[in-house]
Structure 1
């Protein structure tokens, strides 16, 4: 898994068949300046820290024929200070 921060939206008005409902987001991998596009089904937003799975693990999460998704946001990383406030 990779920890990253969402840096922006990638707008796509056309998609190939087989891409499920969700959004493409640009993320920056924590501890580097490396960026990638990840598919999001959770509704993550810019500035949010997320966990990303890649490769066949990402594609096989979907039911049916795996879509051509190679990076999938699988979780949101909570801010420790907000967890203490609860």
Structure 2
């Protein structure tokens, strides 16, 4: 699992058939200069810290035939200062 920060949206008006509803977001892996495109079903926004699952685990989360996704945003990292 990776920690990352959402850095931008990736607009893809044409998609392969069978891709679930969600958005493509560009993320930067924390502590590196590495960026990747992750699929988001949570509604994450730019600047938000997120957790990323990669590889076959990312695609296996979806029911039925796994979609062609190899990076999936699976959670938002809460700011400890704002936690109740």
Length-normalised TM-score, structure 1 = 0.96
1:14 Cα offset (Å): 0.4
Shift of 1:18: 1.4
Structure 1: 5+ residue runs without aligned partners? Answer: none
Residue matched to 1:74: 74
- 1:59 aligns to what SS in structure 2? helix
SS of residue paired to 1:78: coil
State the 4+ residue runs in structure 1 displaced beyond 4 angstroms.
none
Segments of structure 2 that go 5 or more residues without pairing to the other structure are none
In 2: Cα distance, 1:18 partner to 1:60 partner: 14
Question: Aligned residue for 1:19?
Answer: 19
Quote the residue 2:36 is aligned against. 36
Question: TM-score, normalised to structure 2's length?
Answer: 0.99
Q: 1 CA distance for matches of 2:34 and 2:70?
A: 16
Per the alignment, in what secondary structure is the counterpart of residue 20 of structure 2? coil
Deviation (angstroms), 1:47: 0.1
Where 2:61 maps in the other structure, the secondary structure is coil
| Residue-pair matches, total | 84
